[in-house]
């Protein structure tokens, strides 16, 4: 680590102008949350492996900013050369730079790895002390990363209409109508899941996310896909071109954005596909004269491409694809429901297996009975670790129809590790399972017809009264949010409190949001909506046919962690009245796996909550039964028996 910092500081000193600081973001050229191995630059320089964070290297300091999900993990992974900066508690990176670096300091960043929003916010903060954000012409980390993994060259796959539900032609037509309404003549699409969704393509360039490293430009007349052409077979190329999309090399996006800015891009191609989609009246030329803006999403477009455009002729607002993608069509919703049934079956099969193993290997009392582990003597070959257990869960999922891999690295965590919110077990260092400790697993899969994400927390011994009280508080919040009814126009910021109130009664809380959208065989975290205390949760109202997770938790540092998570579909609610003619919304659970009764203090549940639990468990039995063998079904029936206070 010291050599890396030393090499970077040497490059910073020889840079023109010399750099007082270098910012190394987590993001790739598309501002992705999850990035390919080649793009894990922040991880390479800092040793911190979490998905969110930002590194700052100055002449004599190295600091890493990350959020509450990762405080514990960062403390464990950072060497003593690094100082952890807690987002929400410590000054932000731009404030810290403004206050701690000299006047007129030069702060370097690769403009491909930072969004327009972020770069402009930094520039405003730096301006107070005449500090400057310098766009480096190359990525300095790449220059010192000797064994940097090569770029991925995995094949582009066409996502069939039977799973996508809408054709590329329909999506492009909608897109061009939005361009015309906003008086824009083109849009630059940089978010990988938006490119994949718009063009009905998928890939495997980023682990866990079925996306392709690609950009797109759509104008009123043309459409372009920028991708390494080695990834595109002749068959896939034909399919893409049939939709009027021209395939160009990935690197050509830079010069094409410049052409777009000067209104030369359409002239540069013989394609004029889609003209009739928006210009059926013959007034196309007249319309085009008024449409002179280029639409750029400042949250996902990198600063490098933005810098090639004319600031006066830009429409800086959220991509129209963000909301279009979030509003699932009926085919996608059916696919998601079906994927979650298969996924729930895999989770139950895993719990049945795990229950048996914990009893046989460790003498645990098991899933249903309370009692201390008998601490059986066993050989080293007979042991379960966080990694071997999660591998088994993946194995159960892999037997299911349409399985294409996991949707994120499985969080398989026992005891104190469960308190690390985004814990990622490693074979060399992971813990052995313990019959006397809580076990939390947060996992999901990619299926051709949907993406899944589920968390359950279990105990195979005798949970303490405190653990039960905490689990029950999390469950009460989970039920309260899932049962909410709310008027159209309500955002996720307004609902977040529902999941926290049962915890707040005891002075407990959690440091993460409560819910995120989920993709249709796409990214497991999908916006633009979310349920969270964070201000951005106010930006987008929740709407019917969106998906969202319901995942409150509680984490006792150094001791245990609890989280419960289901995926919900937002639907229209059937209410007795309709105040203000707004229309009301509610949630439909599509995740199916039992909650462990032994961890619930039934005396803390209201009659309504007990009724909800029994109804949910009854549906679990009914929906999953066809996927179970006799042994699994017996276990499931026992796990979902009705309860009373």
- pLDDT for the residue numbered 243: 96
pLDDT tens by residue, 504-519: 999 999 999 999 999 9
pTM of the model: 0.94
Element of type H or E holding 53: none
- pLDDT for the residue numbered 326: 98
Under the phi-then-psi rule, with left for phi > 0, alpha for psi from -120 to 50, and beta for the rest, what region is 509?
beta
CATH number belonging to domain 330-369+382-639: 3.90.230.10
Using CA atoms, how far residue 8 sits from 60, 157, 466, 569, in Å, is: 12, 39, 49, 47
Per-domain boundaries in the chain: 1-144, 157-267+291-326, 330-369+382-639
Q: Do domains 1-144 and 157-267+291-326 have the same CATH topology?
A: yes
CA dist 269 and 243 (Å) reads: 15
Under the phi-then-psi rule, with left for phi > 0, alpha for psi from -120 to 50, and beta for the rest, what region is 450?
left
Q: Per-residue pLDDT for 593 more than 90?
A: yes
- pLDDT for the residue numbered 271: 45
Question: Which CATH code, of 3.40.50.620, 3.20.20.70, 3.30.360.10, 3.40.350.10, is assigned to 1-144?
Answer: 3.40.350.10
Task: Tell which residue, 609, 614, 444, has the closest CA to residue 522.
Answer: 444
Phi, psi of 227 (to 5 degrees): -155, 150
Contact by Cβ (8 Å): 65, 54 = yes
The DSSP secondary-structure symbol of 88 reads T
Q: Per-residue pLDDT for 373 more than 80?
A: no
Topology of domain 157-267+291-326, per CATH? Creatine Amidinohydrolase; Chain A, domain 1 (3.40.350)
Question: Which residue would you say has higher pLDDT here, 276 or 455?
Answer: 455
Q: Which residues contact 372 (CB under 8 A, 6 or more apart)?
A: 365, 435, 436, 461, 462
Element of type H or E holding 566: strand 566-572
User: Which is it for strands 184-189 and 214-219: parallel, antiparallel or unpaired?
Assistant: antiparallel
Please, how many CA atoms are within 13 Å of residue 153, restricted to the half-sphere of its CB? Answer: 6
- pLDDT for the residue numbered 371: 83
User: Which is it for strands 584-589 and 83-86: parallel, antiparallel or unpaired?
Assistant: unpaired
Token pair in block for residue 223: 């459409």
pLDDT tens by residue, 58-109: 999 999 999 988 998 999 999 999 999 999 999 999 999 999 999 999 999 9
User: Which is it for strands 411-414 and 450-451: parallel, antiparallel or unpaired?
Assistant: unpaired
The 10 Å CB-count burial string (b at 16+, else e) for 486-498 is bbbebbbbbbbeb
Token pair in block for residue 26: 């987590």
432 forms bridges with which residues in the sheet? 385
* 622-626 average pLDDT score: 98
Split at pLDDT 50, 70, 90, the class of 382 is: confident
- pLDDT for the residue numbered 539: 93
Peptide bond into 536 cis (omega under 30): no
- pLDDT for the residue numbered 353: 98
């Amino acid at each position: 680590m010291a050599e890396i910092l030393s090499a970077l500081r040497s490059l910073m000193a020889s840079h023109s102008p010399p750099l007082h600081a270098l910012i190394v973001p987590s993001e790739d050229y598309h501002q992705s949350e999850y990035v390919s191995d080649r793009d894990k630059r922040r991880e390479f320089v800092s040793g911190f492996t979490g998905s969110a964070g930002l590194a700052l290297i100055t002449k004599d300091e190295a600091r890493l900013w990350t959020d509450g999900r990762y405080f514990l993990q960062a403390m464990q992974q950072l060497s003593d050369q690094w100082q952890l900066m807690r987002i929400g508690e410590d000054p932000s990176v731009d404030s810290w730079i403004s206050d701690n670096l000299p006047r007129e300091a030069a702060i370097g960043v690769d403009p491909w790895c930072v969004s327009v929003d972020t770069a402009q916010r930094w520039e405003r903060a730096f301006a107070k002390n005449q500090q400057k954000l310098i766009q480096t012409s190359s990525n300095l980390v790449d220059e010192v990363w000797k064994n940097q993994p090569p770029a991925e060259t995995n094949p582009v796959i066409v996502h069939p209409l039977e799973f996508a539900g809408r054709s590329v032609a329909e999506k492009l037509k909608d897109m061009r109508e939005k361009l015309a309404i906003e008086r824009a003549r083109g849009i630059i699409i940089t978010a990988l899941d938006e490119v994949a969704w718009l063009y009905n393509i998928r890939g495997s360039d980023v682990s866990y996310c079925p996306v392709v490293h690609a950009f797109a430009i759509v104008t009123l007349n043309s459409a372009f896909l920028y991708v390494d052409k080695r990834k595109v077979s002749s068959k896939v190329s034909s399919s893409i071109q049939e939709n009027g999309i021209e395939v160009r090399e990935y690197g050509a996006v830079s010069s094409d954005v410049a052409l777009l800015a000067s209104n030369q891009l359409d002239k540069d191609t013989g394609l004029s596909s889609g003209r009739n989609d928006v210009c059926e009246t013959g007034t196309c030329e007249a319309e085009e004269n008024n449409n002179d803006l280029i639409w750029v999403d400042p949250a996902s477009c990198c600063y490098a491409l933005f810098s090639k455009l004319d600031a006066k002729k830009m429409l800086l607002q959220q991509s129209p694809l963000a909301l279009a993608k979030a509003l699932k069509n009926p085919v996608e919703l059916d696919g998601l429901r079906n994927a979650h049934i298969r996924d729930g079956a895999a989770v139950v099969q895993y719990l049945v297996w795990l229950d048996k193993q914990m009893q046989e290997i460790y003498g645990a009392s098991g899933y249903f009975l309370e009692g201390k582990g008998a601490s059986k003597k066993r050989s080293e070959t007979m042991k379960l670790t966080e990694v071997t257990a999660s591998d088994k869960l993946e194995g159960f999922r892999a037997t299911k129809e349409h399985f294409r891999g996991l949707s994120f690295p499985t969080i398989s965590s026992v005891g104190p590790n469960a308190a690390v919110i985004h814990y990622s077990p490693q074979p060399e260092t992971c813990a052995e399972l313990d019959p006397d400790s809580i076990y939390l697993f947060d996992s999901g899969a990619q299926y051709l017809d949907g993406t899944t994400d589920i968390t359950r927390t279990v105990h195979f011994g005798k949970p303490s009264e405190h653990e039960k009280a905490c689990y029950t508080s999390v469950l009460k919040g989970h039920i309260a949010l899932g049962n909410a009814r709310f008027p159209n126009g309500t955002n996720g910021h307004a609902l977040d409190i529902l999941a926290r109130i049962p915890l707040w009664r005891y002075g407990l809380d959690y440091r993460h949001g409560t819910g995120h959208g989920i993709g249709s065989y796409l990214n497991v975290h999908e916006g633009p909506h979310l349920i969270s205390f964070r201000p951005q949760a106010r930006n987008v109202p929740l709407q019917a046919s969106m998906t969202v997770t319901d995942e409150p938790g509680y984490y006792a540092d150094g001791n245990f962690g609890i989280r419960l998570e289901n995926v919900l579909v937002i639907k229209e609610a059937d209410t007795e009245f309709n105040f203000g003619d707004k229309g009301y919304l509610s949630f439909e659970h599509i995740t199916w796996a039992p909650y462990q009764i032994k961890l619930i203090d039934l005396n803390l549940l209201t009659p309504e909550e007990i009724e909800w639990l029994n109804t949910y468990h009854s549906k679990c039995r009914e929906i999953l039964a066809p996927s179970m063998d006799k042994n699994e079904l017996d276990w499931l029936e026992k796990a979902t028996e009705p309860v009373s206070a």
